Chain A
Amino acid sequence: MPKRKGGIPTLTSKAPTAGLLSVMVALFVFSLVPTVTWGQPAPRPPTNLQGEDFPLDDGRRIQLTWALSPDDREGGLVEEYILLRSTKEEGPYTELPYSIPLGSDSYVDSGEVDENGVTVVEEPRNNIKFYYKIIALGKGGVRSEECLIDGPVVATRQWFHPGRVNMLVASIVLSLLILFFIWQASLGKELYIRPLAGLEAVQEAIGRATEMGKPVLFIPGIMDMDDIQTIAGVTILGRVARMVAEYDADILVPCSRSLVMTIASEVVREAYLDAGRPDAFKPDNIRYLTDDQFGYVAGVDGIMLRERPAANFYLGTFYAESLILAETGASVGAIQIAGTAMPSQLPFFVAACDYTLIGEELFAASAYLSKEPKQLGSLVGQDWGKLIFLLFIIIGSIIAIFNQLNPDLISIKSWFEIQ
């Protein structure tokens, strides 16, 4: 909470020295008339205080504007402004502890929480009338007259963000396309899915590990569960673990996030259960190493050199560690399958791994491995979505070329702007 200067001015040697009584009288006078202070004239008040609902929010903010006090200038009388708030026009008004420096002619009242998370000022509640006053604070805490707002302000919540209609339309069209093809697939319609070499190799890799009597290593990226690539990685882990269980091989899942470890552990356990071999599940194989990026890499490299896995899967979000992991994996002679949507890491995986799933292929992998018609249907829907995007890119490029000739000819740029 910002501290405010001012309050009752201290008595210095300039104060009348006619004895205690006169000091007390002076103090009494000060407390009665706060706008008159010893030696300091009060600044003129700000004017025209206006308030309105803060746009596009959930009704917890009020936007206030005012015209600056004429004394608000470099070397002028104003030090800062104070806002007061009440739910009744006649008051009582509570002073808001915001520090509004001179020169500011607007403020958003959204309540205040201190550094410990304790509410200092309640936020303006939805659909309640609020009245505001503003005061200019001069040197030595002298206050100007008050400026009252014209009528009450109400914070309202908005149910729809009009700046995002285009996103809504795009999301609906894309979702409908995907749902349509899922429905088509569930009716038994044959759908063509382009083969993905990396995924065709999954079975081969696990088979090889089984033959060699070595474990399979699975890394679901280095980010947490709030990353969609980690989620994709974990869904693929479900499929891979199921195959591993069926083949009677071992799977190692070192994790760099505790939450990922907890979930990976459940996923692998369920996969073993589903494969009818719950007793073969080894909970110790799913372990947490560290959140630290390079500490984690060191840990995984150690595991690779000690356990010498025959198949390595890197599926999720990766950063600079991608090549360090993949090169170490290559040096122990493992078959390596990687997949990520991080464009800057893809070249490293492509160079050091046997197969790489690029971008969307990572998200398609689990559906692809499931061979379930409904899941495959969603992939076809996604491809149709891509076709629509391609059309827009081509149309946009043509329009951009024409706009070079005449900028006012046609503009659809605003259709694609998101707020």
Chain B
Amino acid sequence: MGLVKTMSSLDRRIIFLVVALAVIIPLLLPIGLPIKPTAPVKAFYDSTELIPEGSYVLISFDYDPATMPELQPMAISLLYHCFSKKLKVVMMALWPQGPQMADLAMEVVNQQLQAEGKPLPEYGKDYVNLGYKSGGGLVIIGLATNFGAIFPLDTNGIRISELPLMDKVKSAHDLQAVFSLSAGDPGIPAWVMVSRMAGYPTPPQPGETDITGKMLILGGATAVSAPQFYPYLNTNQMQGLLGGMRGAADYETLLALPGTASEGMDPQSIAHLVIVIFIIMANIFFFLEKRQEERKAT
């Protein structure tokens, strides 16, 4: 009887300890569980594949260090994907610490490309980092007509008129896709809703393969907020979504570029399994306790 009661209201420190072990052990001794990409991630990858070589895309880094474990692998894979497809990338941020996240991701991508012996993207020609601008939705509205008015300078203080890439990107109408890696507000909801209001090009219909004159909206979000964006996916307001570390791992798998997200899948799997076991245990002891109480009552 004592055991049932104790287990039913188990000291949470024991739970914490078990969860910690469930994360640490698979990190040290990886199992290598196979990763099968999910539908929203496949849609993300396939949509990105539709963008013609040499097109201009925008990546908005709408997160900060707190959510780096989930969103940074996405940023790295996405940049790698873009440069592999020879897309020209405009990076910006609606969060103050976003530009640093972009720089950190670029460092990793450069190392990867160098290791593969591929040419490194050139700043100003293949990519630019316009930095952070406060105002969320207002920034998105501004970009609909004029990039120069919102971002007169890039993060290095260079006038954007002196960056060859920006000669071709005057407004959102010159973009083929917007990617928002988002940890909250402003982030994906702002890009989806405000871009529509500000008259950005419309997204292609599902199944359309020629996306000239259209603009994709794609997103990456933390696992906690991802469920919130399914309505956008379902209504084609967004064409793909990377949700949490699993989404990042799926994307890494599709790109055949295993990174920290894929490494994180083993610990995450075991941690989820442990939590499920805890839930089942809690229910068993809950029933035993209830039965004991019923017996006592009779």
Binding site for B on A (CB under 8 A): 1-3, 99, 101, 103-104, 108, 110, 112-115, 223, 293-294, 319-320, 331, 343-345, 418-419
Contact = CB atoms under 8 A, between A and B. Distances in A.
Given A320-B222, A331-B12, A344-B227, A104 B146 contact: no
7 contacts: A1-B152, A3-B161, A3-B162, A112-B149, A320-B224, A343-B228, A418-B196
Interface residues of B, number: 25
B184 interface: yes
A115 B146 CA distance: 15
Nearest to B157: A115
Main secondary structure on A side of the interface with B: loop
B148 interface: yes
B161 A294 contact: no
B184 A99 contact: no
A119 to B, nearest CB: 13
Nearest to A343: B228
Given A2-B148, A2-B162, 16 more contacts: A1-B152, A3-B159, A3-B161, A99-B161, A101-B168, A108-B146, A110-B145, A110-B146, A113-B149, A114-B152, A115-B152, A320-B184, A320-B224, A331-B12, A343-B227, A419-B197
A101 B167 contact: yes
Interface of B: 12, 66-67, 145-146, 148-149, 152-153, 159, 161-162, 167-168, 170, 184-185, 196-197, 199, 222, 224-225, 227-228
Contacts of A112: 149
A418 B197 contact: yes
Contact of B184 (A2, A319, A331, A343): A319
B66 A110 contact: no
A344 B228 contact: yes
Contacts of B228: 343-344
B153 A115 contact: yes
A110 B149 contact: yes
Contacts of A113: 149
Contact of A294 (B66, B145, B224): B66
A237 B159 CA distance: 48
A344 B197 CA distance: 24
In the complex, the 9 A-B pairs of residues with the closest C-beta atoms, listed nearest first:
A2-B161, A101-B167, A99-B161, A344-B228, A344-B225, A115-B152, A319-B184, A343-B228, A344-B224
A405 to B, nearest CB: 19
A108 B66 contact: no
Contact of A293 (B66, B145, B153, B170): B66
